[in-house]
Structure 1
């Protein structure tokens, strides 16, 4: 049974890189009929916060990535970690290290002065024929894992191919702090083992952690999962995405008017592809997805392409659902939609003109209250002759028995012929008088939705 997991640390918002990791792990499990597990890796007690946990949960809910098990919290599993640490100590795969912080800082300074790579010198590591110093009474020990001194860690990465790292490059990493609390790399190993995770799909910033985790799994006699490390997402300048420069939080994209399915669709295309397909549903993505099709190279985030894709999803979305999504934006702008055309009908008319939901809310507002027109539009389109002409056209509108886009459209050609004007000389003043803007969809459809009484009131006011 395939089992994948998404295991974010609650030390900030849910990053889009994390969302893509969750997406690929979720899709792989769904494609294989497996299980997708959510785990909260909150062992960093100083930085982990309840607010960050909530941000992760809210973000997962917003993008719609449903998990089958969890959320599991590492802080609730400390007894299990301590049990496994004792197991490693008893088997000789871990040992107590009594180095003080000052000793380690001195060691590091000496190594850097000699031009060496700073690393722990294994002075407390038990070896045959080695006499260890007497443990100092004033130092609480850490527990270190006894990394093999020779050989290599080799794995066939599902994304990057064969990776080999020499054990000589690895330190004897700390698996328990002086207060007994376990460290990240150790907790991950125990969790993946206990939760029967078969495929660890995560960002390639974890590649250096993998040999350490494999060594611990081997020491425990635990099965090794398949590892697949996803390439980094870069911004448009080719730099690592940053909180200061880029919108990287899921919350940022929600506020910017992005549909969750558009974000997932775009993230799926960063580092993965299915022919030339750009616009697709998550059901199609699951059907097509494979780890073999994931590129090992970093991908650039193209905002123009992203907005185009969001526009395609807005066009395809149900109008009633879009109405629910922009209702809060309209309320914040003091737009009262209780009186006027059905919001879903308005959205159906204007949604092809926008790329995000905030723009959609702005396209909707004049259907419920006329905007104050720009001075240049008034000057250009509402001179005395034009205003008099608009009153004559209002009389024709008032005489209509049937109020529809078709009946309104039927007035345009004969009226322009009688007045000796072109359609623009009717349509533009009409838009400015009724809507307060020159940028609208087909004016007959706009007038039909706003309604006869309101249109006449706005023209004659």
Structure 2
């Protein structure tokens, strides 16, 4: 089994692109197959090296390594050779209409209530007529002649698909300057690079009908196709690389966990519950392309943020330790991580609790006389899990306070925050010397 993810380096990947890449990767890994990254970079005007590097960086951040790599810009001779074979077989024919002439035909067809299909006028040109047009400076574009019969395949997501060849327009495969269009180059690549399964968006369903005939004309076997509904934003709008819609780059800069995004996208569009997974391997185990439905999935940033927090809340210290060290958070040990992870929405928030437990903060002062009494009753070390309860019980007996009046001033003075991890876990990590200093400063 071999799948491919084939982005065009004309922009950064958005979550819709990432979903297709991830599901291809999971499909291949589940079957023990191979994952091909192919850059469809034949659009020389819009494709850039920076976008290509960005796509590779985005996939690496998501954890999606590839087994093979190809660039369409380095395979032009393969497309030219395939085009010559189609010409020799009589399936690729020259057309001389200008863009303006084709648009006029299209408008007249629509006005008369007919579908805007190419009328195959160019098939009626003899050699003399073609020579005369070329003498006028016209250069042909080349169309693939479709067979006018039924085109059927079983789609792994959509089930049986059927098109009638006479209801489709002969597609242009070569521009007038000789450059191949996607419809040709993608088929040639899939055939020659051994792609056996194609998972992509449902906007390619009609393309598949055409590409099946091109594959047959080139003597190739058809891969298994799976077409998914396109992901939209929360308002139901389509996503666009050109508009920077929900780019992976922006999500990374926001501090989102790549495994949270992968956990979200791997189940979006299925009836399965969205659950955080601590590894891509865990996602592979539960992957089944047949679980994806026909309804349009919507990206929900609130749901993803919730999943991101849940992932952090269950993240083992060893998984995050290299990142903590890279951030220069000296002394951020496992005890501190386990104490604070349940309060994190983004891992970047860990720096705040590092300062609380290991550094200096500005205490928030409420009722300084009470804090002075709290300092007087602060128990001696060693401290453990029962220290907070014993200390607050002594304060309760001495002051008559209870509930919020008892606990909140202490939290504000010791952490500078109105909310946070359980103080019974945090207090021993702050330590008596730091706690006493903050209480005296506040009191």
TM-score by length of 1: 0.86
Offset of residue 179 of structure 1: 1.7
Measured against aligned partners, the alpha-carbon deviations of 1:143-193 in whole angstroms (never above 9, x if no partner) come to: 221222x21211111110111111122222111112211111110000000
Measured against aligned partners, the alpha-carbon deviations of 1:15-38 in whole angstroms (never above 9, x if no partner) come to: 212222122211221121111111
Please provide the CA RMSD for this pair.
Answer: 2.8
Structure 2: how far apart are the matches of 1:247 and 1:135? 45
Structure 1: how far apart are the matches of 2:39 and 2:412? 54
Offset of residue 214 of structure 1: 0.8
Q: Which residue of 2 aligns with 1:64?
A: 63
Q: Which residue of 2 aligns with 1:15?
A: 14
Quickly say closer, same or farther: Cα 1:235–1:360, change in 2 above 3 A.
Answer: farther
Structure 2: how far apart are the matches of 1:249 and 1:67? 20
Structure 2: how far apart are the matches of 1:189 and 1:451? 66
1:98-117 paired onto structure 2 within 5 Å: 98-117=96-115
Offset of residue 97 of structure 1: 2.0
Tell me, yes or no, if the aligned pair for 2:377 and 2:394 is still in contact at 8 Å. Answer: no
SS at the partner of 2:386? helix
Measured against aligned partners, the alpha-carbon deviations of 1:72-113 in whole angstroms (never above 9, x if no partner) come to: 110010111111111111221112222233433433344344
Quickly say closer, same or farther: Cα 1:325–1:224, change in 2 above 3 A.
Answer: same
Among residues 280, 283, 286, which one is paired with 2:281 in the alignment? 283
Offset of residue 247 of structure 1: 5.7
Among residues 402, 412, 421, which one is paired with 2:382 in the alignment? 402
Q: Which residue of 2 aligns with 1:234?
A: 232
Q: Which residue of 2 aligns with 1:347?
A: 337
Tell me, yes or no, if the aligned pair for 1:62 and 1:260 is still in contact at 8 Å. Answer: yes
Structure 1: how far apart are the matches of 2:237 and 2:268? 15
Quickly say closer, same or farther: Cα 1:111–1:131, change in 2 above 3 A.
Answer: farther
Q: Which residue of 1 aligns with 2:44?
A: 45
* 1:449 and 2:429 correspond: yes
SS at the partner of 1:254? helix
Tell me, yes or no, if the aligned pair for 1:322 and 1:344 is still in contact at 8 Å. Answer: no
Structure 2: how far apart are the matches of 1:441 and 1:343? 16
Offset of residue 228 of structure 1: 0.7
Tell me, yes or no, if the aligned pair for 2:79 and 2:188 is still in contact at 8 Å. Answer: yes
Tell me, yes or no, if the aligned pair for 2:332 and 2:354 is still in contact at 8 Å. Answer: no
Quickly say closer, same or farther: Cα 1:88–1:259, change in 2 above 3 A.
Answer: same
Q: Which residue of 1 aligns with 2:133?
A: 135
SS at the partner of 1:233? coil
Structure 2: how far apart are the matches of 1:350 and 1:135? 76
SS at the partner of 1:459? helix
Offset of residue 361 of structure 1: 4.6
Quickly say closer, same or farther: Cα 1:162–1:263, change in 2 above 3 A.
Answer: same
Tell me, yes or no, if the aligned pair for 2:363 and 2:413 is still in contact at 8 Å. Answer: no
Unaligned ranges ≥5, structure 2: none
Among residues 412, 419, 433, which one is paired with 1:439 in the alignment? 419
Quickly say closer, same or farther: Cα 1:434–1:27, change in 2 above 3 A.
Answer: same
Structure 1: how far apart are the matches of 2:151 and 2:37? 28
Tell me, yes or no, if the aligned pair for 1:427 and 1:443 is still in contact at 8 Å. Answer: no
Measured against aligned partners, the alpha-carbon deviations of 1:210-259 in whole angstroms (never above 9, x if no partner) come to: 11111111111111111110122233344434679996212232233321
Moved more, 17-26 or 229-238: 229-238
Would you say how many aligned residue pairs link Structure 1 and Structure 2?
437
Tell me, yes or no, if the aligned pair for 1:247 and 1:253 is still in contact at 8 Å. Answer: no
Quickly say closer, same or farther: Cα 1:95–1:247, change in 2 above 3 A.
Answer: closer
Tell me, yes or no, if the aligned pair for 1:326 and 1:358 is still in contact at 8 Å. Answer: no
Tell me, yes or no, if the aligned pair for 1:256 and 1:357 is still in contact at 8 Å. Answer: no
Among residues 218, 221, 224, which one is paired with 1:220 in the alignment? 218
Unaligned ranges ≥5, structure 1: none
Structure 2: how far apart are the matches of 1:347 and 1:5? 39
TM-score by length of 2: 0.89
Tell me, yes or no, if the aligned pair for 1:256 and 1:358 is still in contact at 8 Å. Answer: no
* 1:369 and 2:360 correspond: yes
Moved more, 37-46 or 183-192: 37-46
Tell me, yes or no, if the aligned pair for 2:141 and 2:174 is still in contact at 8 Å. Answer: yes
* 1:390 and 2:371 correspond: yes
Among residues 229, 245, 256, which one is paired with 2:254 in the alignment? 256
Quickly say closer, same or farther: Cα 1:372–1:310, change in 2 above 3 A.
Answer: same
Structure 1: how far apart are the matches of 2:186 and 2:414? 62
